[in-house]
């Protein structure tokens, strides 16, 4: 097994192993009466709902079990690509069913959407039959490009909805004031001058999100944005009390860490 394939295996193991463990053991905590209004989206229109807790628990454990078998199948002594596919595809489909269920009640908690998307890309993306030496190399730039575009589109959405008011007015300050509870860091920021909130808004919108495609340029920028995005999620959880479900995305960002993986530059032509 060449080095690049080994590193892809490590990333696969990180997603189906530790990232899955984090989501599984962390659980989901929503406001009271969250499950009262069934508003199905996508293919859930074809299914009756909401599903019972027993059924959801069954899906949850089945998803976890398939992920663990997928994780084990990546061990070099047991690894065969066919076995990995046979296990990772149902694991991904179960993740979509289970984690997607909570998107059908009128509120989107998008802490696990990137995990599901990465699982989908890792399990269903076909190998490159024209390159027998490195048939899976293109998976890496595909996932990196998807992650960068996701963050970039989040910044675009802020621009379309609020324009530059996000960092030229007191928008972020008002958002903090309206929080139902103020964590210590939020209380500290509420006492800061307005320019601090504007600077924070600029960093979130421009540096973290709109400039996300710069992570594709080089190993250095990839490492920089991995750290930046990770700190962004940690900071958001400390300031806005949004919970720690977003931390699962940090596992997905790890694709930018390996030097031999991130030297694949999707912006360059072969």
Cβ–Cβ < 8 Å for 187, 181: no
Q: How confident is the model at residue 269 (pLDDT cuts 50, 70, 90)?
A: very low
Using a 10 angstrom Cβ sphere, with 0-12 exposed, 13-18 middle and 19 or more buried, the burial of residue 267 is exposed
The 10 Å Cβ neighbour count of residue 130 is 6
Cβ–Cβ < 8 Å for 213, 229: no
Q: How confident is the model at residue 258 (pLDDT cuts 50, 70, 90)?
A: low
Tell me what percent of the residues of the chain surpass a pLDDT of 90: 33
Task: Tell me the per-residue pLDDT of 148-171, one tens digit each, with 9 for 90 and over.
Answer: 999 999 888 888 887 777 778 877
What pLDDT, on a 0 to 100 scale, did the predictor assign at position 270?
Answer: 44
CA distance 92 to 7: 21
What is the chain's Cα-based Rg? 20
Cβ–Cβ < 8 Å for 183, 217: no
On the question of pLDDT at 266 being above 90, the answer is: no
Average pLDDT over residues 82-108: 90
Task: Tell me the per-residue pLDDT of 202-221, one tens digit each, with 9 for 90 and over.
Answer: 888 888 889 999 999 988 89
151 prior amide bond cis, ω within 30: no
* Closest of 24, 34, 48 to residue 103, by C-alpha: 34
DSSP secondary structure string for all residues of 97-113 = HHHHGGGSSS---TTSH
The dihedral built from the CA positions of residue 7, 11, 12 and 18, taken in this order, carries a sign that is positive
What is the model's pTM?
A: 0.84
Q: How confident is the model at residue 49 (pLDDT cuts 50, 70, 90)?
A: confident
């Amino acid at each position: 097994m060449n080095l690049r394939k080994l590193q892809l295996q490590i990333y696969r193991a990180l997603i189906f192993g530790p990232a899955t463990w984090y989501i599984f053991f962390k659980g989901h905590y929503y406001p009271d009466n969250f499950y009262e209004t069934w508003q199905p989206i996508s293919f859930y229109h074809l299914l009756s709902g909401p599903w019972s807790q027993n059924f959801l628990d069954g899906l949850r454990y089945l998803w976890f079990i398939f992920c663990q078998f997928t994780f084990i199948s990546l061990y070099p002594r047991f690894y065969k690509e066919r076995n990995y596919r046979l296990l990772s595809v149902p694991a991904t489909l179960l993740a979509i069913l289970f984690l997607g269920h909570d998107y059908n009640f009128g509120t989107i908690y998008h802490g696990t959407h990137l995990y599901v998307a990465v699982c989908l890309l890792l399990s269903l993306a076909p190998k490159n039959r024209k390159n027998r030496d490195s048939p899976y190399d293109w998976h890496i730039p595909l996932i990196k490009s998807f992650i960068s575009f996701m963050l970039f589109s989040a910044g675009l959405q802020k621009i379309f909805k609020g324009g530059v008011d996000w960092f030229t007015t007191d928008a972020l300050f008002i958002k903090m004031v309206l929080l139902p509870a103020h964590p210590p860091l939020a209380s500290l920021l509420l006492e800061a001058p307005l320019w601090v909130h504007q600077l924070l808004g600029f960093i979130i919108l421009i540096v973290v999100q709109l400039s996300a495609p710069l992570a594709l340029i080089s190993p250095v920028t990839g490492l920089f944005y991995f750290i930046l995005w990770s700190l962004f999620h940690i900071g958001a959880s400390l300031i806005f009390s949004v919970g720690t479900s977003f931390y699962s995305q940090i596992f997905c960002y790890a694709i930018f860490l390996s030097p031999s993986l991130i030297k694949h530059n999707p912006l360059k032509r072969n």
